[in-house]
Structure 1
Amino acid sequence: MQKNILTDPVLSITNPEVFSPNNPDNPSMTAGMTFVGQFLDHDLTFDPNSPLLEKTNPKKTTNFRTPKFDLDSVYGGGPEQSPELYDLSSGFIKLRVETIPGSEEFSRNGAVRFDLPRVPGTMTALLGDRRNDENVILSQLHVAMLMFHNAVTDRLQADPAHAGDSAQEIFKKARRQVRWHYQWIIVHEFLPLTIGQARVDDILQRGVRFYDVDDDRPQIPIEFSVGAYRFGHSQIRPSYRLNFGRPDHGHSPFFAFIFDDAQDPNDPDPNDLRGGKRAPRRFVDWQTFFNFGDGNFRPNKKIDSKLSSVVMLLPGSRGPAPGLPGDGVQSLASRNLMRHVNFGIPSGQVIARRMGLPVLTQAQLEPLASYGLDRNTPLWLYIMKEAEVMENGLRLGPVGGQIVGEVFIGLLKADETSYLTSRPNWTPVLPSAIPGDFRMTDLLTFAGVVPPLN
C-alpha cells in the first residue's frame, strides 16, 4: 500500500520536497518558533466572549489578558490569588510541575519528563491560560517556562548575595529575571526572525508611528489580534517529530500530525499531538524544534497563502479538545476569514494605503481573483500574501511586519516594568552560549528540559 502524506506523518518531515511541494519549508526559522509565537499571543490576548458566527464590535471586546509581556499566562494572579499554580514545599515560591509516569521508558538515557500540573483524576490542566494545553508542543513549552522560573529561583537562593532575602523577595527577583530574559528573546530573536532586523531597529530607534499606545491602559489593535498576528497559522507543519523515542527499549521516535480529527477524542494517548492528555511518550525533545548545533532541528513552513492540510479539519466538534473551539467550524482558514468579517476590519489594501506602504498589485493577487478578493483582500490573507510576494515567505512584509513590530515594541515601551523601559541598557545575566545574549536554546537549557540524546 502506497503511503500518503495525509495518512503518514513521517513523510512531510523526512522528504518535504516530494511530499509537501506546495507548502515549502522556511530555511531561516526553526519549527519551534511557531509555538513561541503562539505562546506570546496567549500572553497578550484572550477574548472568550466574541462568538465566531456573530458580528462583533471591536470597541466592546474585552481582552482578558494583561496587554503586557509579563507572563500572566504562567504566573496567574501570583501565589496569593492563584495558589493552585504554586509549589511552596521547598520553602521558596516555585511553580508546580508534575512528572510523567513511565516517561523514562520512552526517553533517551531514561530521563524523567514533566507535564503541566493537572486536576487529580482528570486531564484538566492547572495553568494561567487553558489555551496553552491546546497541543503537546505548546503545553511542553509552558512546562519549560515553569521550570525556567524554578531554575532561576534555585540560582538566586544559592547566591550568597541573596542569603538574607525572604521567599517573597526571591520570588519577585526571580519573576523579574524570567520576564526580562523572556522579553529579550522577543526583541532579539523572535522579532528579527519574524519581521527582519532592519524593521526592528527602525521601530526601536524611531518609535511607533501608527500604533497609538496608551501607557496607562494599552489596547491591542484588532488589526493585530484578528489580522496580522495570525500569520503563524501558515507556519504550522502538518506533522512533527515530537521526540526521538528510546529505540534500545523498543520505542521508535514519535511522529504525529499536530491534529488528526480521525483520532478518538477520548483516547488517553491518541496518535496526534492534541493537548489535554498525559502518557509516557507525550513529551518534547527540543532538539527537533530549535537549533542546538547537533543537526537535528527542522524548519517551520514559510509565511505564505498556504496552510497545512491538518488545520483545515481541527478537532473540537467530535469531542473534547482542550484549548480548541467547539463551535463546529473546523477550518482554520474559515475561522480567520469569518473573524475578519465579524469585526469589520478594513481590507489589506486600505490599511497599506493608510500607512503609506507599498500596496500589492492585482497581478500579485491574481490567484485570488476568482474569489473576488484581488481588489479587497481580507487583512489576514493580504498579510500572508504580502510576505509570500515581497519576502519569499521568510518573514512578514511591510504591512504585517510594521503592525506586529509596533505592537510588540510599543507594548514593551508602554510597560514601566519591562527592561526596555526601566533599564534599556540591561543585558542578560543568566548562563548562555554567547555571554550577554539569550536565546530560546539558552532558556530551554537553563530550565533543564533538554536531556542529551546520546
Structure 2
Amino acid sequence: MSRRGFIGGVTAGAAFTALPGTATAQTAPPTNPRFFGRLFNNLPPFAPATQQVQEALRELGRPGGIMDAKDPLNEGPVRLITNPELSPNNVDNPFHTAGTTFLGQFIDHDFTFDNNSRLGVPTPPETSPNTRIPTLSLDSVYGGGPNVNPELYEPSDRVKFRLESGGMFEDLPRRSDNVAIIADPRNDENLIIAGIHAAFLKFHNRVVDLVRSQGVPADQVFARAKQIVTWHYQWIIVHEFLPQIIGHGLTTDIQRHGRQFYRPAPGQFFMPVEFQGAVYRFGHSMVRPSYRANRNGDPSGNPATGAPAFFGFIFDPRGQGQADPVDLRGRARARRRFIGFETFFDFGGNQTQHVRPNKRIDTMISTPLFNLPLQAIASGDPPTSLPQRNLLRHLTWSLPSGQAIAEAMRIPILTREIFPELRPLGNNLDASTPLWYYILKEGKYLGDGITLTGVGARICGEVFFGLLQLDTTSYLSAQPNWTPTLPRRNASTFTMVDLLTYARVDPASRGQ
C-alpha cells in the first residue's frame, strides 16, 4: 500500500513495526478541567531532562539547523509566494488554503493557554493551570461576558462587541499603546489571526441584529446570539477543519465509533499535554514564510514591494519598533493592516485565483519562525526559535516518545531508520523521538504532508471530539442532530467562507 494509503487505515511496511491486538485506553486518574492532564499516564518520558538532552533539542530546533526550511528570505516576501520553487524544502499543500493555518491557531487559543510552566523544567501537568476553558465555547472572544468583561463590549449596546478601524476596514479595539482590548492577547500575535478575531466580533454583532429581529426578549439576546455563533463555529470545526487536518475517514470513524484513548470521566474533561505540548503544534509546519495580507491596501506604496497589495513576511526583524511594520506582526494599526480574506479562504468564482495555499505538514519549518519577535511569545522570554520552544516543552511535560505512544495505541511504529538525521544528536532520539517531531514525520512519510496521520491524527481527532461531546453546552452534546441555520452556499453544511460572508468581510461586501 502507498504512503497515502495509510491515511484511510493502518498498514505495516518495511519501515514500521506492526503490533497485534486491540487498542485500549489506559486507566486515568481523576482530572480537572482547570488543569492539564495526560492521555498516557504509564509511559516514561522520551528522554531524561538533562542538560545534554536540552542541548540536543536546541540543536535540532536551531536557526539554520535540521528543521529550518532555509527559505531564501533575501528574495523578498512577494517572490516567495509567486515563485514557490525558490523554497524547495518548504512545499505547498495544494489541498489547504492559507487560512487553515490561522483558523487552527484561533481554535488553539480558544481552549488552551499554558501561562505558568517553564520551558525545559519538568512540571506535573495536574498542577499546572490551563488559563483557557478547555471547551470550544469561544471564551477567547467572549471573555466572561458583558458583566464580567465590559471593556470588550459597546458601552451603548452592551450585547455587541467593540470594533474599531484605523485601516481601510475593521480592526480590533486598542489602547493608546496599540495593545488590543480582547479576551486573549495571543489573538493579536499576527495580522491574520487579529483579522479572524475581528471577523468573529462582526459575526456576533450581525447575529445580535438577527436575534433582535426575531423578537427574542432583550434579556435573552446575548445568550441566544452567543449560542448561534458558537454552534456554527463548532460545526465548522467538525465538518470542515477536522476533515482537512486528519482526513474525512478518521473524522467519520471517531464520530461514529467513539474515542479509544481520550476518555475522561464525566465532568473531568481536561486538556492533555500530549495534544497541547506536541500534537496540535503541527500547525507550525503549515505557516508560510510570507503572505499577501490584502490586494489593495497599499496604493501609495512601492510597486517593487507588490503594491497596491500588502505583502509581508509573517515575522521580520526589521519590523521591530516600526509604527507600521514591514511584516505581519500584530499590535499595530495602519491603513494597510487589514486582511483580504480571499487570499486565505476560497470564495469561489473569480476570487479563487487569489487564494494561496499553506505549507505541508512535515519537519521543515519556515525560516521566519526561527526568529520570533518577543511580543509574539506569551512569556516574553527567549529562546526565540519556535521549534526550540516546542521541543523544550517535551521536557516540561515529560512527554513520551512518539514510538511509545504508537505502541500503546497499537499503531504501526516509525522505526529508527526513518530518522537518520537524528542519530548525530545522540540521546537515542532516532528510536525515542520527541512527539512533535514524530507526528510531523508521520505526516510527511505517511500522508505526503497533506494531513496528519497515525498517532498525530488519532490524538488530534479524539481530543476535539471529546471536548465537544463532554461539554454539555456544545451542539454535539445538547442537540447532536442540529444543523446550521444561518445563510450558506451549500444547504448541507456551513463553512468558514459562509461565516466570513455573513460577517461581511468577504470580497463582495468590500466591493472586490
1:124 to 175, 179, 187: 179
Identity among equivalent pairs (%): 48
1:433 to 465, 478, 489: 489
The residue identity in structure 2 corresponding to 1:15 is N
The residue identity in structure 2 corresponding to 1:82 is N
Give 1:205 shift.
1.1
2:221 to 167, 170, 178: 170
Aligned equivalents of 2:328, 2:143: Cα separation in 1: 25
Aligned to 1:9: 77
Give 1:364 shift.
2.0
1:188 aligns with 2:200: no
Q: Report the more deviating stretch, 398-407 or 356-365.
A: 356-365
Aligned equivalents of 2:381, 2:299: Cα separation in 1: 44
1:285-308: per-residue Cα shift (whole Å, max 9, x none)?
000000111221110000001100
Aligned equivalents of 2:232, 2:388: Cα separation in 1: 36
* 3-state SS of paired residue (2:312): strand
Aligned to 2:295: 244
Aligned to 2:66: none
Aligned to 1:344: 398
1:297 aligns with 2:355: yes
Aligned to 1:98: 164
* 3-state SS of paired residue (1:10): helix
2:325 to 247, 270, 289: 270
* Structure 1 residues 130-145: aligned runs within 5 Å: 130-145=185-200
Aligned equivalents of 1:428, 1:249: Cα separation in 2: 42
1:21-42: per-residue Cα shift (whole Å, max 9, x none)?
1110001111001011111111
Give 1:168 shift.
2.7
Contact 1:73–1:128, Cα closer than 8 Å, also in 2 = yes
* 3-state SS of paired residue (1:79): coil
1:417 aligns with 2:473: yes
The residue identity in structure 2 corresponding to 1:85 is L
1:38 to 73, 89, 105: 105
What's the TM-score once normalised by structure 1's chain length? 0.92
* 3-state SS of paired residue (1:68): coil
Give 1:53 shift.
4.3
Give 1:238 shift.
0.3
Aligned equivalents of 1:252, 1:356: Cα separation in 2: 54
Name the CA shift for 1:283/1:266 in 2 (closer, same or farther; >3 Å).
Answer: same
1:233 aligns with 2:284: yes
Aligned equivalents of 2:198, 2:377: Cα separation in 1: 16
Give 1:450 shift.
1.7
Aligned equivalents of 1:418, 1:436: Cα separation in 2: 20
Aligned equivalents of 1:247, 1:118: Cα separation in 2: 22
Aligned equivalents of 2:117, 2:234: Cα separation in 1: 29
Q: Is there any run of 5+ residues in structure 2 with no aligned partner, and where?
A: 1-70, 302-306
* 3-state SS of paired residue (2:413): coil
2:268 to 217, 222, 226: 217
* 3-state SS of paired residue (1:94): strand
Give 1:369 shift.
2.4
Give 1:327 shift.
1.1
Contact 1:276–1:322, Cα closer than 8 Å, also in 2 = no
Aligned to 2:204: 149
Aligned equivalents of 1:139, 1:248: Cα separation in 2: 22
The residue identity in structure 2 corresponding to 1:423 is Q
Give 1:157 shift.
1.5
Give 1:99 shift.
1.5
Q: Report the more deviating stretch, 7-16 or 189-198.
A: 7-16
Aligned equivalents of 1:248, 1:385: Cα separation in 2: 42
Contact 2:402–2:433, Cα closer than 8 Å, also in 1 = yes
Over aligned residues, Cα RMSD in angstroms?
Answer: 1.6
* Larger RCO (CA within 8 A; separation ≥ 6): 2
Aligned equivalents of 2:297, 2:161: Cα separation in 1: 29
